[in-house]
Structure 1
Amino acid sequence: MGDNILGIIDKIMPYITGLWTLPWIVVGFVANIILTRIYGEEKISKALKKAGLILLFIFIPILLFKLFLNVHFGEEEIDFVIVSSAVMAFLYVIAYFFAISKVKKVCKEDEQTEFLKTVIVNQGRSAAFVGGAMLAFEKIAIPAAIYISLLGIYLFAAIPYILSYLHKRELHKEEKSPLPLYLRVYPWYLIIFPITATLLHKYYGITTSSLEYGKLLEFFAAITIPAALYYVGASIKYKDLHINELKKLIYAHKGETAWVREILIMTIIITPVIIAIIFGTLFILNLIPVEWFIVLFLNSILPITSTNMFLIPYGINRKVTALAVTWSTVISIPLFILFMNIFSYFLM
């Protein structure tokens, strides 16, 4: 019986790894439209929220554990931790200066603080779900996993802390964090898995191949990626994708629609170009390996994370954030797939 299961897993694995994972975004999008018409939007939204939590708290930790169990965490990995942390901080610096340069152009004086915070927060990207596709490629799996682990700390710990501090100064009073408890503990919960796996590998030499159920662990880790991409596709709000809304994005001069356009310009054009120039140059000069460049660049074109919606109580514009998440998902994912296909030639 056990051998039969392992044989089935061997046959399935090629179809849930590598570029085969990317079409699951489309599957999720189409399935969500069909299921919403059958069961209603409210019921499907609740089911999606539960599915997202299962992915965040069960499958993504399993995936990270499996990846770090098979690698010796040496000097190069430590260097990438430092570089990744610096790059993440730099992305928010880009967002700050971009927001400062646009604030007078697209909003009234009494909206400027809200605009600044909204733009900066929406530099946060969906590394765990969409970026998880990078983990399907062995050559970049470890740097990608390091980036995902660190970004969880930025998104759910560092940025909310900074926003909380600023919000207290604005209101002149203490206020509870609007982040649910499960998201506040998530980055510290998540980081336990790669650390534990690294220590087990370093001191006991354990790998997935040395474990009795290692192949089963690899299977559960592998299905995380198509499941996460299905979730991303299903989360796209197709009702917002009207041609009239697109025209507003292009031609709006003031107001919330103009804010969305500026955020999309920052996340889809300006940030990736800056990252490509800096780290492309470092790669050409042989100062960083190609795997680092690929991971850092691909993370710069990821769509905006939907978890930014939890930060609305800190003075972030709800409508702008919701529209920015939807449109960035629709625009960024084809770009991500395009560059993944281009870079796959370096990763085979």
Structure 2
Amino acid sequence: MQVLVITDGIGALTSAQAGRVLAEGWPGSTVVPAGGAGAGFGRAYADLIGAELITGMAGATPAWWAARDGVVAAGLEVARPADDQGIPYQGSTLALGEVTATALRAQPRPRRLVIDCAAGALAHDGGAGLLAGLGATADVPLDGGVAGLDGIGSVALAPVRELVGDAEVIGVIPADQAGQQLLGLRGITSVRRGSAVDPERLLRTDATLERWAGLLGVADRAGAGACGGAALAVLALGGRLVAGPELALESVPERRLDLVVTGCGVFDFAERGGEVVAAAARVAERSLCPAVVIAGEVLIGGREMRTLGIESAYPVRASAADAPVTDGIEPDELSAVVRRVARSWRW
């Protein structure tokens, strides 16, 4: 059998740890660590490339980076803000730029630079702080959020290009922001305006971002507004945008599969298992094979899960009343379920 295992973290187990346990049921299967932007991506990507995950602080923000064999990845450990928080006018992506610069100096001239852009959701600066952390300068401060960009007339990216070199630049964004535009009625200023609406300030903010994008030479397009516009900085460096699980899957050669096995903490209709489960379902669809989920809890019916491309789902714990998933799932506990499931999905 040709089996692909791509799972999110399950309980306290990381993606790689959970993947190894799931693979016990199908010896010889391919295990791909994966995680969404700001949701386990750093740990999973470090495991994918076989690198040590270095953690520390970028200013006052917990940060991480990893590097190996010409690949550098960096990001911040931040919680995704609520959708209705309003616009953080002074929020900056400077810390993201600083940790990325630290990683680049540790391994100069990489062939690939991967930036987890999720932390940009705490800002609204179109990636200005990110570029400043990498060495960009302008005629106004780039670390003061979108409010500080008012009146900007020029920006110099030469120091950034010198630091980045010829690296392929990849911005990792949440899958649900792949279509997010930067400007206009569908842009981030309109989407994030919240309940306290000041039309004049909203228009001025959108105009500032339009001016900023123009100076960077980047036309507004789908994804440019992802993560508070941090994705725009990636595009300005000639980079591309991708969801975390999709980037992980790029490491796996296309081939016919017989089964895709995935997992998550909670599989319900609200979150649908998250980005990794969704990516697994798409892989299975392309290969015309079934996808099964092994989750800490399963709170979705068979009919609903099949609309998501999942054939069957199996819980480690029957319900939260047994023991909350947040208490952590032990490898032996997960392994017992895997052995039982594998008997039904092996041929």
Q: Is the helix fraction higher in 1 or 2?
A: 1
**What is the TM-score normalised by the length of structure 1?**
0.28
Q: Is the strand fraction higher in 1 or 2?
A: 2
**What is the TM-score normalised by the length of structure 2?**
0.28
**Greater relative CO (CA pairs within 8 A, separation 6+):** 1
